[in-house]
A and B are shown apart, each in its own frame.
Chain A
Amino acid sequence: MREWLVVAAIALGFGILASFASEEPGWFALANFGLAAAAVVLGTLQVAFRARHASAPAFRRPVALGLARVAVALLAAVAFERAVAAADVQLDWTFERKFQPAPATLDALAALCERGELDALLFGDAFDPRRRSTRLLLQTLAARSCLTFEERLLGADSSEEDRYGVGTSNTVVLRQRVSGKPEHVELIERPTEGALFEVFSLLASREGGLLWIARGAGEGNVESGAPTGYSGLASALVTEGYELHQFVGAATGEIPADVAAVLWIAPERTLPAEALAALDAYLARGGRLVAMLEPGPAGGLEELLGRWGIEPAGGVVVDPASATIEGCVPGLCPLVYAYATSHPIARGLDDTRMTFFRGARSFRLRKPDVEDRLVAVALASLRSWIEPDLGALGRSTPPVRPADETGDYHPLLVAGSYPRDGRETRIVAIGDKDFASNQNLRGLYNLDLAVNAVHWVAAREPAITLRPKVAVSGRMQFPIPLQNTFTRFQSLGLLLPEALLIVAALVWARTRSA
């Protein structure tokens, strides 16, 4: 038996090696597989011949019992593996936690699944390492939704690649089939979770309503792709289903009641009285407003907000819990981890899901009516205080805490709801505009706070969620200091094996002398 087994093992090994070496198994591999099979058959016959004693009644029972044990073990092993696989329990130990789909991704997928079928084709080269990550990502999403997933080797079927326009490895083709409609195909060439989420959201084509964005008085520009622009925010809002419409405040006599919400990003110049009156009238009719204000004059919005019980405080918030970001004066970039988590805007945010602001102002809240509800949603830390001198924003050194200043929570984002005559006006005021600029929007959870604020104001609470974060592969691209690791290599990587080898030598010597 044993000689046949050795022959079979050697032949099989060489057959497998030859198969791995070439894509198609050649004559050499096939001949080796044949030899291995023949050796196994001969070995089995030999074993059967030797086991003829087992036919004796005295030996049947132990053999049958032994075989039964093996069969039970096999069945138990398969059943256990299948049961655990069905439970689908997996832990994400990646540095960026990239295989825990964001709630927003799953929500968008669920919306798509309600409409029809969705499948994904991953095209990749056999040796493309990115394919593994994408495969796992798609498998994770497929396990939690109706998405089906198949993998294709790039170049295997050029007609399929031509049909979908696939040109590079690690490309995903998403196909949506809704009854009564032609198949919708989307091509994703860098399939991160964020990219997939955007496509899922667009395919789900959720109706968010019309969002008016003010311009003409130095407001933030939603068309600008510069770091200080807001094109990122605009793009995110479109992804979430909003139709954007820019309007010039000074030239607008009336804001229509069917506008889902108005977004006013920190006017630098004083707004004309007509614009403020139009906004006031719109809010009085149950309108919705998201206003971002920078420290200092806010073009007249401060008076309007004051009438709704949101009084912008002067000065700038100084918080020792400040983000260390390039170009940021220490203390003036509050790192926010205190949220009113009962409020829908802060859903999912907690002290590990922080946001940060750049030179922010605070608000004082005073309810105009007993039925109104004013909530400080995001607050600077308990150690924060207000520096009245706005000149601190231009200096590079942090402001000094006054001796009598004990610190307090200072609201940086507040939300107000005002039931009036069967309608509800909603206002969100944010004491900073920079937190949503292109430069900072994708940092921490700023995007979620900004978009969720718009969702709440537009009465789209079900759409409030946390979105996939940009993969921080940059962290995985940090060099590991070689000098230090060289020291470790010598002290642990080499010294430990050396010590073990010495022990082995001593054991060997002692064995020989014994």
Chain B
Amino acid sequence: MTRFRALVKKELATLFASPLAYLALTLVMLVTALIFFDHLRIYNQILFLYASNTMGGFESDTIPDHINVRDSVFFPVLETLGITLIALIPVITMRVFAEERARGTDELLLTTHLSPGQIVGAKFLVTYAFVVLMMAGSFVYPAMATVEGGIGAEHLLAVFVGLSLHALGLASLGLACSAWSSSQLVAAVASWAVGFVLWDFAWAGPFVSERAGRLLDALSMHPRYGAFAEGIVNLEHFAYFAGLGLLCAALSRFAFDWRRVAG
């Protein structure tokens, strides 16, 4: 356990000793703030236009149903950030295993009496913690703005829970890809490709039967985290992302065995 803690500490130190971690945090927080503020601004303008007779708008009480915080702010923020995370998370995860392999330090790690499972566990734990920190940081400004407006803070929390699960799912994929490569670039491209494919299987619709289409839909990440935009927190989706994490951890663990065999 002591060695495991030491490895976690080392991973944290490595992560925060690199400017990449801060850049990733900055980027996510900035993009979230900009997207959220921009949608909020447009939403307020449309609302004002509809509600203001003097501005030549429509009569009050005739604001269309679809102009509301959920559809005009929460949902677009979730969609845009969801896509952004597909591109961003691999940048964070690419180095985790691949760098060790490229430098040959993974062999050293194995000589410290840490089992491959513990090594994988520590790296997943630290990466997950970082992703959660990143999502929590990006949640601060939208939360403050929404709470001040007096509406939908709980709903916004659901949106960010969905986004965080999506980010954790992408991190799991990214770590698995990193574990199977010694090149950071290949790991990033592979995790980007797998994340993008798994994001939404709608593209496969024309090639498969309806039943297979439903199965692919159940495997897609987008319908899973997209449901959170409605304000519904379904434990089924938690289980999906937990299962994805478990599978990716097992694949990463297998990468150690495979390397011993195939080199």
Residues of chain A having any CB pair with chain B under 8 Å: 2, 5-6, 8-10, 12-13, 15-16, 19-20, 24-25, 29, 33, 47, 50-51, 53-54, 59, 62-63, 65-67, 69-70, 72-74, 76-78, 80-81, 83-85, 87-95, 99, 129-130, 132-133, 136, 473, 475-482, 484-486, 488-489, 492-494, 496-497, 500-501, 503-505, 507-508, 511
Contact = CB atoms under 8 A, between A and B. Distances in A.
Interface in B214-263: 226-227, 229-236, 238-240, 242-244, 246-247, 249-251, 253-254, 257-258, 260-263
Nearest to A135: B230
Given A81-B243, A492-B140, A501-B22, A481 B149 contact: yes
Nearest to A49: B262
Contacts of A133: 230
A500 B247 contact: no
Contact of A91 (B18, B40, B233, B258): B233
Given A505-B19, A507-B22, A78 B148 contact: no
B23 interface: yes
A485 B37 contact: yes
A73 B248 CA distance: 9
Contact of B261 (A9, A51, A74): A51
B257 A62 contact: yes
Interface in B178-205: 181, 183, 186, 189-190, 192-194, 196-197, 202-203
A480 B239 contact: no
B4 interface: no
Contact of B148 (A47, A87, A484): A484
B250 to A, nearest CB: 3
B97 interface: no
Nearest to B241: A81
Nearest to B76: A129
B47 interface: yes
Contact of B44 (A12, A33, A480): A480
Given A93-B231, A479-B149, A497-B27, 7 more contacts: A12-B193, A13-B193, A16-B203, A47-B262, A488-B148, A492-B33, A492-B144
B204 to A, nearest CB: 8
Contacts of B43: 479-480
A105 B250 CA distance: 45
B44 A482 contact: yes
Contacts of B260: 59, 62
B261 A62 contact: yes
B250 A511 contact: no
Given A20-B203, A66-B254, A479 B232 contact: no
Given A85-B239, A92-B232, A473-B65, A73 B250 contact: yes
Contacts of B207: 25, 33
B36 interface: yes
6 contacts: A76-B246, A81-B239, A488-B144, A489-B145, A492-B33, A497-B27
Question: Closest 4 A-B residue pairs measured CB to CB?
Answer: A77-B243, A493-B33, A9-B193, A480-B149
A489 B69 contact: no
B29 interface: yes
Given A9-B193, A473-B68, A91 B253 contact: no
A512 to B, nearest CB: 10
B83 to A, nearest CB: 11
Contacts of A500: 22, 25-26, 29
A488 B235 contact: no
Interface string B4-43: 0000000000001111001101110110111011001101
A482 B40 contact: yes
B30 A497 contact: yes
B17 A507 contact: yes
Contacts of B155: 93-95
